[in-house]
Amino acid sequence: NESFSSRRVSLLCLLLSAVTYCYWPGLFGGFVFDDDVNIVRNESLHLTALSVKDLWSAAWSGHAGPLGRPISLATFALNFYFGGAAPFSFKLVNLAIHLANTMLVAALAQILCQAIVLGRQHSSRRQASWWAGLVVAALWALHPLNLTGVLYVVQRMTSLCTLFGLAALVLYASYRS
């Protein structure tokens, strides 16, 4: 049903806007805690030219465990290159990742509701599963626990891990259902 589809898009946009509204004031804060050591003082992240060699060097410039955080550090280097050293641009990217995660949570909850609880026989049940997915996504997106993944810049690794994990779960659940 086309009106339900446009309403779904509108409600999802409303949820993403509400999440953005809640996080917006925090985007203007500075770097905190480990952000200083891992981003501000990590000269390898301060790219002045976009080259594979410099990006590779930036990706492996961290000292967090045996594997480091190459993906997060590479995104920090790109963030620095395209957005400068201001914490706002770093936090804005973190917010964008959080919003993508919110959409993935909604999709996963909807898929699971359809497959496990509600079935797929009737369109009204599919609509109910969509609503359930939206409610679960709202609860997840606005939960205070997620604040650190957005406003504590160095925690981008957590948000990216969540992004890849949720994307894999959505693909798997879609395939299985």
pLDDT at position 105, please? Answer: 94
Q: Flag whether pLDDT at 102 surpasses 90.
A: yes
Matching residue, tokens 């504590």: 152
Of 73, 78, 53, which Cα lies nearest the Cα of 63? 73
Matching residue, tokens 């790109």: 78
pLDDT at position 115, please? Answer: 76
For the stretch 8-15, contacts whose Cβ atoms lie closer than 8 Å and that sit 24 or more positions apart, written own/partner, are 8/130, 8/134, 11/134, 12/103, 12/106, 12/134, 15/102, 15/106, 15/134, 15/137, 15/138, 15/141
pLDDT at position 18, please? Answer: 95
**CA 90 remoteness from chain centre:** 13
Helix H or strand E encompassing 84? none
Statement: the pTM of the whole predicted model exceeds 0.75: yes
pLDDT at position 117, please? Answer: 65
pLDDT at position 4, please? Answer: 53
Task: Please spell the DSSP secondary structure of 24-73, one letter per residue.
Answer: GGGGGS---TTHIIIIIS-GGG--SS--HHHHHHHHT---STTT--HHHH
**Which of 6-10, 65-69, 76-80, 102-106 has the largest mean confidence?**
102-106
pLDDT at position 67, please? Answer: 75
Q: Tens digits of per-residue pLDDT, 61-75?
A: 777 767 778 888 889
Helix then strand count (H, E) for the chain reads: 8, 0
Q: Tens digits of per-residue pLDDT, 16-48?
A: 999 999 999 999 998 888 888 888 887 778 878
Q: Tens digits of per-residue pLDDT, 118-174?
A: 555 555 556 667 788 888 899 999 998 888 889 999 888 899 999 999 999 999 988
Question: Which residue would you say has higher pLDDT here, 90 or 43?
Answer: 90
